[in-house]
């Protein structure tokens, strides 16, 4: 089955700096790669996703890149703000069968 | 419309007792997932239901864990003879299914504490 690895497990940045979280996956048939944000005490929520036929997608301060050949994808957050502090999960999915990475705890220091 | 709901929100039980956790997915969603999240940890996949297909049970940690989905809607996760290591938040999610690119919507979770 699919195996998703995520790095780093914790990340601390200064407000205004950029943050990058990287994930790799094992199943070359995976074709959908969402990112979820989980704030403390809350449920995970989708923030951005990318399909396998696209190499990059951007939505305001967040962007995702996908390298199908290398089977890795990344989340980029620019101009970080304290409200970006949360745990971020990447996931890889094939036919709705989705597996999540272990999560990255991002702390943005004011 | 209503989101994914789970009950109970909190459950405290004694070691060795059985527990049942319930998930009500979003109406019309054919895919349903159960995850376990230990304190400060990631989302551990447990089981996945898609329509009338046989569920993917590959994530269930032991034969003490089982899940059903009746009528293609409500799902129940049952843990028999609970152990202290079962203490965690159990999250349910649902999605439209039917194609690959579907957002999962999560419920609020059930916090299980085994004493």
pLDDT tens across B38-68, in order? 987 889 999 999 888 889 999 999 999 999 9
Distances (CA, A) of A9 to A19, A76, A89, A92, A101: 13, 15, 10, 18, 10
Q: Answer for the pair B78, A9: CB distance below 8 angstroms, yes or no.
A: no
For residue B77 the two structure tokens come to 């996760």
Size of interface A-B (CB pairs under 8 A): 58
pLDDT beyond 80 at B1:
no
For residue B39 the two structure tokens come to 């304190």
Question: Under an 8 A CB cutoff, do B103 and A46 touch?
Answer: yes
Question: What's residue A97's pLDDT?
Answer: 84
Q: How far apart are CA B9 and CA B111, in angstroms?
A: 6
Question: What's residue B99's pLDDT?
Answer: 66
For residue B91 the two structure tokens come to 């999250």
pLDDT beyond 80 at B85:
yes
For residue B16 the two structure tokens come to 């060795």
Q: Which of B58, B97, B108 sits opposite A43 (nearest CB)?
A: B108
Q: Would you call A83 helix, strand, or coil by DSSP?
A: helix
A102 touches chain B (CB under 8 A): yes
End-to-end CA distance of chain B: 37
Sheet holding B75-79, edge to edge: B5-7, B19-24, B75-79, B65-69
Contacts of B31 in chain A (CB under 8 A): 96
Question: Under an 8 A CB cutoff, do B58 and A32 touch?
Answer: no
Contacts of B106 in chain A (CB under 8 A): 43-45
Encode pLDDT of A7-60 as tens digits. Answer: 999 999 999 999 999 999 999 999 999 999 999 989 999 999 999 888 999 999
Encode pLDDT of B14-27 as tens digits. Answer: 999 999 999 999 99
Contacts of B40 in chain A (CB under 8 A): 105
Contacts of B42 in chain A (CB under 8 A): 6, 89, 100-103
pLDDT tier for residue B74 given thresholds of 50, 70 and 90: very high
Non-local (6+) Cβ contacts of A9 within 8 A are: A102, A103, A104, A105
Question: Under an 8 A CB cutoff, do B41 and A102 touch?
Answer: yes
Q: Which of A6, A43, A101 sits opposite B106 (nearest CB)?
A: A43
């Amino acid at each position: 089955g699919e195996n998703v690895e995520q790095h780093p497990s914790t990340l601390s940045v200064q407000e205004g700096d950029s943050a990058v979280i990287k994930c790799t996956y094992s199943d070359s048939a995976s074709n959908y790669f969402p990112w979820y944000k989980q704030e403390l005490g809350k449920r995970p929520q989708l923030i951005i996703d990318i399909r396998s036929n696209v190499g990059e997608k951007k939505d305001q301060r967040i962007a995702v890149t996908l390298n199908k050949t290398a089977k890795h994808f990344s989340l980029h957050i620019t101009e970080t703000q304290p409200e970006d502090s949360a745990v971020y999960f990447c996931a890889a999915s094939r036919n709705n069968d989705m597996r999540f990475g272990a999560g990255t705890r991002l702390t943005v220091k004011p | 419309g209503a989101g994914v709901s789970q009950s109970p929100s909190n459950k405290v039980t004694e070691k060795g007792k059985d527990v049942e956790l319930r998930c009500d997915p979003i109406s019309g969603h054919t895919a349903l997932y159960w995850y376990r999240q230990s304190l400060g940890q990631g989302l551990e996949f447990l089981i996945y239901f898609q329509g009338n297909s046989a569920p993917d049970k590959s994530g269930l940690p032991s034969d003490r864990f089982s899940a059903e989905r009746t009528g293609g809607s409500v799902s129940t996760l049952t843990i028999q003879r609970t152990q202290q290591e079962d203490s965690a938040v159990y999250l349910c999610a649902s999605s439209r299914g039917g194609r690959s690119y579907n957002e999962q919507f999560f419920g609020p979770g059930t916090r299980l504490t085994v004493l």
